[in-house]
Structure 1
């Protein structure tokens, strides 16, 4: 069913943009706004702005923009209705359904939303199975043996898949789910060579629900409890439209608040490692779920903290094989520490062996930065082997070279020289060689890309000139920008407001750009109804194109620092200091661009008339129109102070 307008209005009133965005990224205040690295595209310098005053977000890198509801729609990939439901749940708002929708409308659901619903149904099904006779004797007893409490089982939505070919499939079909959605969600399989034979993917296993960052079920990991050698110990959900393994970390939903609070993220390998650490009172922990660390997972961590502590099992050979993950973390701009458990132990087994307090103490006492950790790992190898020591030094240098911050690089180089007992100058020389090589590689790649673009340009040349239509569009945009940002402000002592002036001056002008034409009409219609069409009025519109354009127009990329005035007594004039002059010049420029367009059209008609051999009177008439327009242009140029030789 559709959500009622009353519920939507309550969510719009209650949802705070800083709180909503803060659930997904780490925001830092700068000036009037909050800033972060954009969660929608990769970047190292923050260009994602959140305005608490305007309740909007805007990325100056990829262009994403909107209000709290649009943010949830963008980052979760869901529709308006599902975004409202999610925010209603966050703020404890009761969801009221709109009974006026037809059954056909209720069936029209976005595929992604259908997948979320199907996976949530599966999660509830597996959780409920723990209360069945089979679930209690097998699944629940396994969790209890591991020391998992009822609270932890509920917190992580742990469950059990019944041992049978189609227990889940039957339940899902009874609930109204179509087979194609169950396939796309990765919940059922089709027997090879027999299209009619469909069966459950997860059977006779305990299940670990994989959540996205907002807490929705997007996949499952399932562990077998028998000693059947023909079956893998774990099976996992496949890639689906809503589950991309390389962008997901197990436990991030449960950990994100603690990661922000402690400004540190513990990184482990498996599901049970995460859960055991929660049992030990440590919640800022996530798992890569046994896969190699990816760039997407590193970006996900960086949304909440710059500090990572990697926890390794007590297996030297396994640690050395996974060291590339540390280099990736360094390259991603994270500060890395590591903890190694005693031989034969992992976070799960060690926490159960020593207890919560001793486990927490061990993490604090044995946490080492990556330089000391990596050198200590190879210490025994190079003590009596100078050649191996040289190799280790080069490996350490390569790792330091991955760090993007030059100051941090220098600090680590100094520390490494002391631990390796090698002169710092030699280490810096080797580091510089590594950095120069990296720069050459990057330069070569950029050069090859530029050459490829140049060849394309030669094959398909493009004209660099800006058309008359484009210049008119730019000025129409500027007029709408002033209207949106300062429309209700007074221009003089006679109570004339900027919107009254702009609307009056543009009454006889038909905007050529459809989006600006639409916004201008909405502004006029709003005023006619007695409404003040401020920024909130436009951001609340259902028209996505209008919302996007309005947010672009009202969000400045840069702010003038208050220090110029407060500390240095330097006063900087802004456009709002002289709104009357700003509005007057803007209208003149708009009319100048419009006259240019009309002159261009007149010139084209003259050329066409001469080519077609029309009579001289017709050509003369067109020329007169052109010269009259030219006079208007010169008059406007004089007002604007434009001198053309």
Structure 2
């Protein structure tokens, strides 16, 4: 099924780009635009801009840009249709779907097909949990023993895989899903001539992306057989990269925003039990070491993370790298340790929701106090050598914090806690920072923003070697920014530029294609709007137009009044700007024609042809002089 054109248009009409993007990043108004830290990179200085008037965003650190739909696609890692459905749900729009043609079904890409087969598997596992005797007696009984109620089972879409070799395989083939796709989705295994289900006789935990799409599964055995691993997970696929996802993020993201805090745990049942206990702003790293991608995912919704640990100090020490990674990404981190023998799952089930919440709030400690307690065994460590080691470890963690003010505050806290002179700690910190700066300077320079892609696929760069490129680009810039403004009493800026360039062949085909689309819009009597050129259908055109819709630099409100300096914006004299741009374009084309004519003249052997070429040369030179006079260009002889 495909979304109807009328629904797509209704979604586009209802979208407020600032409202959409504010769900993911904290925007700050600057002039007529908005600015924020990029949700795509780990930057320290904001380079992400949103223009409500143009209804576009531009991220100068990653090169990404587009409209609200493109933003949702990029930030959620979903396709166009999924982004439309997300926005429809946000604005309460009923999605009308149309039957797809055989050609459209054939063209459905592998990524979409994987989502479809994974969703089928999820529905199958849920059905087995509730409808099969085995599922009810084993799977459902286990979940009830854990205290999970019916609403929790539905919220996390828990299921059960039958203890047979090919239960899912047979049902999937009945529904028309191919073995090849099932294998790519990580649902079946092939060994020589044998084909069988990956998950058998296990309770199933579907892993969802931020948008709620099932991308993988975690599966727990209920057997006491030690030969079987307790948990097995889906392999990495086209849609599942375990380092980039957090279990429970779909269910937790709104609560994380509302609470401005994310609790980070280790396992599936930790998340589910806490959620049922009323603490819904919780996600799990699912048994893997915390990654920078997971930290960046959390940072879309909050800058505050509290890591929850059971009482095993050896396990806690092993996870210190995760805390350092959180600090490195300029997030605030605290820690809560549960009593020995308890974890978030068991502890949340042992008390009321209010008592559990109170425990989390009253026992959260800053990372210095937490780390010191663990490394000194609760302050019992008196060995001077060990104390020096503890101090060095904590200073190393503080050195990772990008914010200088935060570092200073933590140094003071560390000095008080460990009874060490603050100046000594500052000296050690400065040594580490200098060492880090030297190391960073030794790294190769990152690519310039213009070299970065709009989407995952690298887009072709414009032909910057072309001498005509800057003037061709300038004409397009004026059309997309000011096309609807008047040139004179009879025509707009767009009509003037498009009319003057109608017979000119542009060297840059992307610019030519964009101007042709603009001409088509004008011929239809419509206004030139940025969203005409921007969208996933043509990423090269989108990138070109977004780069022309410059938002980053502007005169701030009150600047002229404060400094008593008058500034003039080009929009105050658009006819002159458009006329000059056309003259410069024609001048460049004339220069090109003159060069071509000279080359032909050098090769010509016919006197008659030479005379004709000389006449043409004089004519072209005369036209060039007229334009130079208009532009005020003086050419020395």
Shift of 1:29: 3.6
Shift of 1:421: 0.8
Flag the 1:108–1:503 CA change in 2: closer, same or farther, 3 A.
closer
CA deviation profile, 1:356-388 (whole Å, cap 9, x unmatched): 111111111111111111112223477420011
1: distance between equivalents of 2:561 and 2:212? 45
Q: Which residue of 1 aligns with 2:474?
A: 478
- Are 1:162 and 1:204, in contact at CA under 8 Å, matched by a contact in 2? yes
Shift of 1:61: 3.0
- Are 1:7 and 1:96, in contact at CA under 8 Å, matched by a contact in 2? yes
Bigger CA drift: 293-302 or 534-543?
Answer: 534-543
Q: Which residue of 1 aligns with 2:633?
A: 642
2: distance between equivalents of 1:626 and 1:77? 57
SS in 2 for 1:125: helix
SS in 1 for 2:219: strand
Q: Which residue of 2 aligns with 1:35?
A: 35
2:414 corresponds to 1:416: yes
- Are 1:18 and 1:50, in contact at CA under 8 Å, matched by a contact in 2? yes
Structure 1 residue runs without a partner (length 5+): 451-465
SS in 2 for 1:342: coil
Q: Which residue of 2 aligns with 1:459?
A: none
Q: Which residue of 2 aligns with 1:370?
A: 367
- Are 1:165 and 1:200, in contact at CA under 8 Å, matched by a contact in 2? yes
2: distance between equivalents of 1:467 and 1:126? 53
TM-score, L = length of structure 1: 0.90
SS in 2 for 1:243: coil
Shift of 1:23: 4.5
Shift of 1:544: 4.0
Q: Which residue of 2 aligns with 1:211?
A: 208
SS in 1 for 2:62: coil
Shift of 1:128: 1.8
Q: Which residue of 2 aligns with 1:287?
A: 284
Shift of 1:586: 1.4
Q: Which has the higher contact order (CA 8 A, sep 6+)?
A: 2
CA deviation profile, 1:589-609 (whole Å, cap 9, x unmatched): 212221222222223324444
SS in 2 for 1:314: coil
- Are 1:314 and 1:345, in contact at CA under 8 Å, matched by a contact in 2? yes
Q: Which residue of 2 aligns with 1:454?
A: none
Flag the 1:624–1:221 CA change in 2: closer, same or farther, 3 A.
same
Q: Which residue of 2 aligns with 1:455?
A: none
- Are 2:49 and 2:551, in contact at CA under 8 Å, matched by a contact in 1? no
Q: Which residue of 1 aligns with 2:14?
A: 14
2:615 corresponds to 1:605: no
Shift of 1:102: 3.4
Flag the 1:34–1:237 CA change in 2: closer, same or farther, 3 A.
farther
CA deviation profile, 1:592-642 (whole Å, cap 9, x unmatched): 221222222223324444xxxx24564454355445434433433333333
1: distance between equivalents of 2:112 and 2:23? 20
Q: Structure 1 residue aligned with 2:517, among 512, 522, 545?
A: 522
Bigger CA drift: 237-246 or 161-170?
Answer: 161-170
Shift of 1:307: 1.3
SS in 1 for 2:307: strand
Shift of 1:576: 0.5
Q: Which residue of 2 aligns with 1:177?
A: 177
Flag the 1:118–1:31 CA change in 2: closer, same or farther, 3 A.
farther
Flag the 1:174–1:576 CA change in 2: closer, same or farther, 3 A.
same
SS in 1 for 2:130: coil
2: distance between equivalents of 1:267 and 1:541? 35
2: distance between equivalents of 1:42 and 1:237? 29
CA deviation profile, 1:82-112 (whole Å, cap 9, x unmatched): 443444344443333334x533432331100
SS in 1 for 2:502: coil
Q: Which residue of 2 aligns with 1:140?
A: 140
Structure 2 residue runs without a partner (length 5+): 448-461
Flag the 1:641–1:295 CA change in 2: closer, same or farther, 3 A.
same
2:508 corresponds to 1:513: yes
2: distance between equivalents of 1:41 and 1:615? 63
Q: Which residue of 2 aligns with 1:395?
A: 393
1: distance between equivalents of 2:616 and 2:418? 84
Bigger CA drift: 66-75 or 396-405?
Answer: 66-75
2: distance between equivalents of 1:287 and 1:56? 33
Equivalent positions of 1:161-560 (< 5 A) are 161-191=161-191, 194-195=192-193, 197-380=194-377, 383-446=381-444, 470-492=466-488, 494=489, 496-539=491-534, 542-560=537-555
- Are 2:33 and 2:551, in contact at CA under 8 Å, matched by a contact in 1? no
- Are 2:463 and 2:469, in contact at CA under 8 Å, matched by a contact in 1? no
SS in 2 for 1:130: helix
SS in 2 for 1:354: coil
CA deviation profile, 1:425-458 (whole Å, cap 9, x unmatched): 11111111111221222233349x99xxxxxxxx
Q: Which residue of 2 aligns with 1:457?
A: none
Flag the 1:181–1:428 CA change in 2: closer, same or farther, 3 A.
same
Shift of 1:242: 0.5
Shift of 1:331: 1.0
Flag the 1:306–1:166 CA change in 2: closer, same or farther, 3 A.
same
Bigger CA drift: 320-329 or 19-28?
Answer: 19-28
1: distance between equivalents of 2:126 and 2:22? 30
CA deviation profile, 1:193-228 (whole Å, cap 9, x unmatched): x23x21111111111111101111111111111211
Shift of 1:317: 1.4
2: distance between equivalents of 1:541 and 1:166? 40
SS in 2 for 1:115: helix
Flag the 1:436–1:539 CA change in 2: closer, same or farther, 3 A.
closer
CA deviation profile, 1:233-285 (whole Å, cap 9, x unmatched): 11111100100000001111111112122221111111111112112211111
SS in 1 for 2:112: helix
CA deviation profile, 1:27-74 (whole Å, cap 9, x unmatched): 444333333444445544333333333332222233322223333444
- Are 1:78 and 1:113, in contact at CA under 8 Å, matched by a contact in 2? no
